[in-house]
């Protein structure tokens, strides 16, 4: 997972490494991501949704 996160981090430089690690985890699990951070929208296969405030 960490090597995949490193690959994601270099491909999408605006993501922090923690976000890249989250993406690697989401790729494995297929889970959606609840966040207001639209930086995840450009990553194929990531399903982002915004929680209601």
- The 3-class secondary structure across the chain, one letter per residue, is CHHHHHHHHHHCCCCCHHHHHHHHHHHHHCCCEECCCHHHHHCCCCCEECCCC
Q: How many CA atoms lie within 13 A of 1 on its CB side?
A: 13
Domain ranges of the chain: 2-49
Percent above pLDDT 70 for the chain: 98
pLDDT band at 18; cut points 50, 70, 90: very high
Question: Residue 11: what pLDDT?
Answer: 97
User: What mean pLDDT, rounded, does the chain reach?
Assistant: 96
């Amino acid at each position: 997972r960490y090597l995949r996160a490193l690959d994601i981090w270099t491909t999408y430089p605006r993501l922090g490494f923690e976000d890249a690690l989250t993406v690697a985890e989401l790729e494995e699990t297929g889970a959606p991501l609840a966040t207001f951070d639209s930086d995840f929208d450009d990553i194929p296969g990531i399903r982002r949704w915004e929680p209601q405030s």
